Amino acid sequence: MTRSYLAVIGGTGLETLPGLEVKARQVVETPWGPPSGPLVHGTLHGRLVTFLSRHGEGHTIAPHRVNYRANIWALREHASNRVMAVAAVGGIDALIAPGAICIPDQIIDYTWSRDTTFFDPSHGEVVHIDFTQPYCEKLRDEMLLAASRAGIEVTPTGTYAAVQGPRLETAAEVRRLQRDGCHIVGMTGMPEACLARELELCYATCAVCANAAAGLGPGVITMDEIRATLVNGMADVGRLIGALLAV
């Protein structure tokens, strides 16, 4: 199968890729088990694109249960070396309000007990990757340029706090993340990013703010609020992807 120009991992609020003219749905197996769902190959704005829903069809896989190794391996083997990961996040920085988009350039991992490497004792080697800059700068720059062309205002840098989930954070935890210098908080950024680096993929994240993080908004955070906010935010993501593909 011809390699795709871009692979898109969809998160909460982006379970399908609007406008994708589907050519094939590929069910694959990996050394790490099955990915979250089939790889959906198609064309969008004249480019070959592959889409994978991170949480599975119907959003049935919790963040700490996602088979990140299988997902990243499947995309490398059957789709593209360029991966744009879309994620719904909570806004910690006051400038990243609900509905806004951030293209983070740093990440701090607060998760635990997840499979964080392809290189374990069963494979007879330990590999240390350079993770100083966790995202592909080339793809980040292209995404920022695409946002500008589409007239979408984005925050061009930021530190993503990757937390365990599936529960949302406490107000005290968010204050700690603030002290640590984090700007957004989500549950799927790691180990996805470091696994992509191990396989030498060009990987970057497009984070859509779904809500103000715990303790920073006017009241209780509800899923209805999150879903409503993501409607417009993900529409902007679709426009950004369109501009990215129309190069």
In the structure encoding, which two tokens stand for residue 223, read together? 């899923």
pLDDT digits (tens, 9 = 90+) for 229-240: 999 999 999 999
Domain at 6-117+132-245: CATH architecture: 3-Layer(aba) Sandwich (3.40)
Domain boundaries, the chain: 6-117+132-245
pLDDT digits (tens, 9 = 90+) for 87-139: 999 999 999 999 999 999 999 999 999 999 998 766 667 889 999 999 999 99
Burial of 106 (0-12, 13-18, 19+ CB in 10 A): middle
- Tell me the whole-structure pTM to 2 decimals: 0.94
DSSP string, the chain: -PPPSEEEEE-TT-SS-TT-EEEEEE---BTTB--SS-EEEEEETTEEEEEEETTTTTT-S-GGG--HHHHHHHHHHHT-SEEEEEEEEEE-STTS-TT-EE--SEEEE---SS---S--GGGT-------SS-S-HHHHHHHHHHHHHTT--EE---EEEE---SSPPPHHHHHHHHHTT-SEEESSSTTHHHHHHHTT-EEEEEEEEEEEPTTSSSS---HHHHHHHHHHHHHHHHHHHHHHHT-
Q: How confident is the model at residue 155 (pLDDT cuts 50, 70, 90)?
A: very high
Q: What pLDDT does residue 58 have?
A: 86
Q: What pLDDT does residue 29 have?
A: 95
Residue 166, preceding peptide bond in cis (omega within 30° of 0): yes
Segment 195-223 shows an average pLDDT of: 95
Find the range with the poorest average confidence among 38-52, 91-105, 217-231: 217-231
Residue 237 φ/ψ, nearest 5 degrees: -60, -40
| Rg, the chain, Cα only | 17
Q: 151: part of which helix (H) or strand (E)?
A: none
User: Tell me, what DSSP letter sits at residue 167?
Assistant: S
pLDDT digits (tens, 9 = 90+) for 56-68: 988 899 999 999 9
Angle at 115 between CA 161 and CA 183, to 5 degrees: 5
SS3 43: strand
Q: How far apart are CA 50 and CA 89, in angstroms?
A: 23
Q: How confident is the model at residue 218 (pLDDT cuts 50, 70, 90)?
A: confident
Segment 163-172 shows an average pLDDT of: 96
